[in-house]
């Protein structure tokens, strides 16, 4: 038996078994990767604000003041990696706590922006923690602090170290809203011996589509543990932003007179493609305005430099006092995008002109706004196909194509209304995943 140095009870790794050897290889590889990249993480710690204050927590240190109060109740651990998963988890968290009032809910995320969504939007959570590095020496203190009766993971976050620690303690693991893209499937298939043993530790896999379910089964998940429940993002889109947020937004940013297009959740490399498009659109008699919302607000300083180099005048959302009088508004705070969509005539969804897989297209669709996106939407392939088929979205091939489409739509409010209504109709037609997910989770949670 091989034992690791641990801040909690040591977990033996039985190297004489295939599973033990696979996990040992994973732990050694991950440890070497951490050591090799340590100078990068140290540099980021001192230069990037979002990495400060969380390093020790990601290594397994859980301050006593941040732990959930011990009320003698079983705890449901819900993990949502970042903003998108946390937003999709909102309705699920509310329904879980209503269905199981004798349980406490603890949520983990990987990112600080995800943490902010939990704190601002999910009041049902009695505690939040950052998910640690996936080594037993780090995972065990987190599990000790949470003391979960069950772990529910949003989408398909597969962590060998975490799964193994929980499986050895007899704590069931459930994946909800799961998806496996064709690209991810190829990567997982290359290490299918590891994924087969990893998936054996999961108790229940609730997948978005039959294709996702079949890919997971091909990776080694036991077929009897896999169900298709649909995509929770459709149910999420059925719930508009709360009225208080919309009132605050209206006080801060009244509806402008000129037509507005939004570039939502943009990624590095994308702004330099979009800013020249907006500069060209400004020559149009309508003089449309752009609301630019980067996926990660900490990038706003570098984006402001790019805006200046394009000769554009910009205001920052955080500095608005009810008067937007420039051609471009840069949103440098999170939590506002869902409400901003109501101002748009058309929305471009980021992460799609660059190969990042796209972002959630259903939020603008829920406002009845037509959606444009680029060729790289592999993370939202099914949603994109539904919107295109319904006539509520257009997939563009290039920045030049995006410019042409934007120009045409901005000139035609009637076309935008028709497309927007078609986009909106896709949502109720595909909702229902929340009820199916709760029905599948119910027997497991009740029998804890």
- Residue numbers annotated as active site: 85
Question: How far is it between the farthest Cα atoms of the chain?
Answer: 75
Q: Decide if 252 contacts 320 (C-beta within 8 A).
A: yes
- How long is the chain? 448
Q: Decide if 290 contacts 320 (C-beta within 8 A).
A: no
Cα 394 to its chain centre, rounded Å, is 23
Q: Decide if 86 contacts 109 (C-beta within 8 A).
A: yes
In whole angstroms, what is the distance from residue 405 CA to residue 395 CA?
A: 10
- Considering only CA atoms, which of 394, 398, 396 is closest in space to residue 419? 394
In whole angstroms, what is the distance from residue 430 CA to residue 232 CA?
A: 10
**CA-atom Rg of the chain in angstroms:** 23
Q: Decide if 179 contacts 212 (C-beta within 8 A).
A: yes
Q: Decide if 376 contacts 395 (C-beta within 8 A).
A: no
Q: Which residues pair with 106 in a beta bridge?
A: 77, 127
The residue whose two tokens read 């499937």 is: 185
- Kindly report the number of other CB atoms within 10 A of residue 179's CB atom: 21
List helix spans (H) across 122-270: 136-146, 160-168, 182-190, 192-199, 210-218, 232-237, 243-252
């Amino acid at each position: 038996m091989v034992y690791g140095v641990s801040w909690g009870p040591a977990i033996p790794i039985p190297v004489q078994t295939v599973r033990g050897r696979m996990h040992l290889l994973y732990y050694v590889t991950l440890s070497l990767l951490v050591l090799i990249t340590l100078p990068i993480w140290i540099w980021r710690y001192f230069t990037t604000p979002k990495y400060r204050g969380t390093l020790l927590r990601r290594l397994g240190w859980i301050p006593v003041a941040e732990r959930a109060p011990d009320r003698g109740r079983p705890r449901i651990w819900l993990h949502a990696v970042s903003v998108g998963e946390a937003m999709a988890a909102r309705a699920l968290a509310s329904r879980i706590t209503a269905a199981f009032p004798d349980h406490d809910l603890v949520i983990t995320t990987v990112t600080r922006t995800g943490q902010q969504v939990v704190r601002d939007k999910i009041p049902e959570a009695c505690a939040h923690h950052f998910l640690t590095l996936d080594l037993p020496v780090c995972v065990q203190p987190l599990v000790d602090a949470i003391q979960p009766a069950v772990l529910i993971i949003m989408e398909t976050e597969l962590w060998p170290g975490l799964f193994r620690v929980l499986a050895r303690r007899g704590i069931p693991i459930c994946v909800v809203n799961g998806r496996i893209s064709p690209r991810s499937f190829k990567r997982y298939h290359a290490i299918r011996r590891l994924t087969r043993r990893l998936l054996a530790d999961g108790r229940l896999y609730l997948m978005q589509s039959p294709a996702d379910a079949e890919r997971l089964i091909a990776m080694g998940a036991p077929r009897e543990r896999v169900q298709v429940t649909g995509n929770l993002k459709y149910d999420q889109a059925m719930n508009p932003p709360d009225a208080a947020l919309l009132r605050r937004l209206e006080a801060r940013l009244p509806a402008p007179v000129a037509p507005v297009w939004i570039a939502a959740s943009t990624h590095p490399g994308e702004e330099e493609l979009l800013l020249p498009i907006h500069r060209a659109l400004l020559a149009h008699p309508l003089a449309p305005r752009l609301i630019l919302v980067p996926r990660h607000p900490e990038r706003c300083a570098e984006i402001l430099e790019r805006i200046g180099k394009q000769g554009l005048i910009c205001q920052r959302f955080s500095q608005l006092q009810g008067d937007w009088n420039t051609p471009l508004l840069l949103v440098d705070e999170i939590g506002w995008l869902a409400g901003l969509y109501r101002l748009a005539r058309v929305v471009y969804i980021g992460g799609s002109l660059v190969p990042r897989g796209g972002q959630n297209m259903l939020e603008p669709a829920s406002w009845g706004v037509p959606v444009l996106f680029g060729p790289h939407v592999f993370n939202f392939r099914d949603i994109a196909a539904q919107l295109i088929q319904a006539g509520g979205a257009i997939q563009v091939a290039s920045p030049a194509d995006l410019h042409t489409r934007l120009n045409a739509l901005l000139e035609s409010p009637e076309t935008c209304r028709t497309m927007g209504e078609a986009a909106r109709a896709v949502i109720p037609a595909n909702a229902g995943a929340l009820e199916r997910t709760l029905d599948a989770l119910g027997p497991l949670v009740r029998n804890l």
